[in-house]
Amino acid sequence: MNFIHLSEEPLKSKIKDTYFTKFSYSGSKIDFTITYKHKNLGEINLLWAEAKKGESDIKKSFIQLILTIGKYKFYTEQTPNLLCAFDGIKMAFLPFIKIQEVFYQNDIDFSVTPSNHKSEQFLKLLKQLNTILEEAQIFYYEKNDEELKAFIKENLTSENISKFKIDKNNFVSIYYKWSKSVKDSISIDWDLAKKSGIIDADFYLADLLSKDNVSIVEKLFAVLKKDYYEFNEKKTELGSIIAEKTGFKDHQKAHKEFWAIYERPPREEFWDYIIKRRDLLVDQDIRERKGAFFTPRIWVDKACEYLSKTFGEDYEDEYYIWDLAGGTGNLLANFTNKKNIFCSTLDKADIDVIHERIKNGANLFEKQVFQFDFLNDEFFDECDNKGNIIKKSKLPLNLQEILKDENKRKKLIIFINPPYAEVGLSSGGINKTGVQYSSIYDKYKDILGKSSRELFAQFFIRIYCEIEGAILASFSKLKYVNSTNFIKFRESFKAKFLKGFITPAYTFDNVKGNFPIGFLIWDTSKKEEIKKIKLDVFNENGNFLGKKNFFSYKNSLFINQWLDSFCKNINSKKVIIFFNAKANDFQHNNRICFGSSKKSFGNGDINLKIYISNLINIAIYFSVRHAIAATWINDRDQFLYPNKLYDKDDEFKSDCLAFMLFHGQNRISSKEGINHFIPFSEKELNITKEAFESDFMYKFINGKIKDENSLFGDELAKIEFSPQAKELLKAGKELFKYYHTHSEDKNYLVNASFYDIKEFFQGRDEKGKMNTPAKAKDEHYKFLLSQLNESLNTLAKKIEPKIYEYGFLKE
């Protein structure tokens, strides 16, 4: 039995009648939804599915379904246990829990069209979830009919349901419903609460982990006591113990109505997971400010592996471990010698979470897990002249003793994933409250310099200066190794690098960007200047890719200083094109472009005019910046002021000119000004009706332009191209010739640039953005463009080794 001959709607109807007769079916934005109507709870979602006629790629169907769920925020509703994808011959199932966390990652753009299987976001998600999608259970109608029916019967039961059960699959989506229904009925000023670090998630957890209004989790931030919440006890200035409480504005009406349809608490097996993943319930801005980013288990395991490689298999017996930015403690999951493990964090609620986990078997001592503001609190008890304690430190005494003992400090490993927040990075460019100003900032701002805006730099400098000789084993950005903003920081921070690795930043929850996060181990007792470090490279799946050098660039001159050297004090009056440049690193390469006017690009920090006298050097600059693709691995690498060898290499110069002419960042348009960048003559392109407005580039290449620096009106030498550059020019000529066969089209431009030609064939979307080549309808155009891009890539590979040879980049 198969349904390969059915179109999509009849297929969905047939699948419903064959396998889901006992359930309700609907289809709208989600193709195929199976629900059960409960007399008290209403319509319960049991299964969401993507349907495809004929035979399809199941993985792509799941990705389309996931993007649909994300686009319309269906994950904030009551979610099903199962996701499904089916076509005319098979049906596949995947537990929703497997992909739940995808919907809380910042770097996924859910605004894309889910059905566009060629979009960058679709392909990225397909790659990211490939391993998970491999776990889908697939049944073929012809050979697995009985097994399929049994699977559905076992996993989609609707019997004996009296309340919605809460588990790790749905506790986040239920939180969203709780927030809408219950939050505003609690008698508290949420704006003031937020400033004090109180979040609604703590009230939700107090509700969730209760039964008959008797708290299960005694030490959460807020505890539900029948008809009011009680906060953690605290000591007053007079020394008495008080416990604040708050009730409900509506006599608990909304609260009772909401929890009448949900079964709480969840089964005990889910408690630890829900408590551990409290971070999923925290607002984005709070997570960024506190640095509450959950470290993926794959990198926790890898970091512990590197600690073991560095200090020996039995290092836990010899060394102490302190995670001083501990969050809910997941970084410490692998350690077994709990007498040597310490954990602290800013958030008292997180400490309470860990204490509860300890009750459920977490391998830590409660007294060695404590609240501590590392950027403001003091390490040691403050005493008077007689040794009497005036102000007690929050650190346990055994940790204070370790910090006071030089030999023990050298055996202390500060194992952290500190906050990555940076001043000025919130939406709208507004500085984030509380990020910069701390006692550590005030104390060390002079030696931190510009790096003081980074929270992790404040952590590092206190560790280095005040826990002298300790081992720093930290996840972080690599700015402190290679950024120019950290030059002053590196003047003070001198330590011996021991071992480390990098991995993509986007593998960490809610970390945006295509850059590396490194785990680096430093021995601060050995004072070595940071010059170069070599790190192992792992992809998002933990596969080893090789090694990569990172440099401090001390005393280096950078490529934009070289750019200045040939773009200032020019006497020429004839402007050929306008050029836009920015910064010195790979991450800003998308801003390196040129066009007919300044309208061709946004505002960069370097806007230049290009003349005959600096055209070749601009071509070199442009090609050096674009010949090597920007990746997450090289994202922060700096381009440098070159040595003088390049100036004697005419073939390198001509390669760069050819590369510049046909690169995608050539945004010259004859609609915005005269196009001086047509490298061919009218005769070569079979144009007979009218001449080009400018034949500058054709004459420049063929040595028919006067040298502006010559006293005798000499012409510049003809440019000789390498075989690879000639192939690119040949491919470019074929593309131009084909375009000019469309002279009868109303949108035809005789002076069309490379950019204009792409626009002609590819068109623009409703937002005015040029479509991708894949959307072009002319197949011959797509073939010619692919040939050109192939030649461009070949030339880029030829240019690449020269970039290192001439010192534009360090290997």
Query: What pLDDT score does 71 carry?
Result: 87
CATH class name, domain 291-551: alpha beta
Asked if residues 35 and 43 have their Cβ atoms less than 8 Å apart, the reply is yes
State how far the Cα of 650 lies from the Cα of 721, in Å rounded to an integer: 9
Extract the tokens encoding 99: 């992909």
3-class SS at 91? Answer: strand
pLDDT digits over 515-567, tens only? Answer: 999 999 999 999 999 999 999 999 988 889 999 999 999 889 999 999 999 88
Query: What pLDDT score does 243 carry?
Result: 63
Each domain of the chain, given as residue ranges in start order, spans 8-162, 171-281, 291-551, 559-721+796-805
- Local structure of residue 453 (DSSP, 8 states): G
* Sole residue written with tokens 């003349």: 611
Q: Considering the entire predicted model, what is its pTM?
A: 0.65
Listed in sequence order, the residues at least 6 apart from 507 whose beta carbon sits closer than 8 Å to its beta carbon are 296, 298, 299, 517, 540
Write the Ramachandran bin of 531: left for phi over 0, alpha for psi from -120 to 50, otherwise beta: alpha
Query: DSSP secondary structure string, 410-447?
Result: TTEEEEE-----BTT-SGGGPPPTTTS-SHHHHHHHHH
Taking alpha carbons only, the member of 355, 80, 73 closest to residue 220 is 355
Which residues of the chain are under the pLDDT cut of 70?
Answer: 38-42, 104, 106-107, 157-164, 168-169, 194-198, 210-221, 232-243, 267, 269, 272, 275-280, 282-294, 360, 422-437, 510, 571-573, 599-605, 709-713
270 CB burial (10 A radius; 0-12, 13-18, 19+): middle
State how far the Cα of 242 lies from the Cα of 233, in Å rounded to an integer: 6
Asked if residues 432 and 339 have their Cβ atoms less than 8 Å apart, the reply is no
Q: Which H/E stretch holds residue 275?
A: helix 268-276
Query: What pLDDT score does 615 carry?
Result: 93
Where b means 16+ CB within 10 Å and e means fewer, 737-754 reads ebbbeeeeeeeebbbbbb
Query: What pLDDT score does 289 carry?
Result: 41
Asked if residues 586 and 637 have their Cβ atoms less than 8 Å apart, the reply is yes
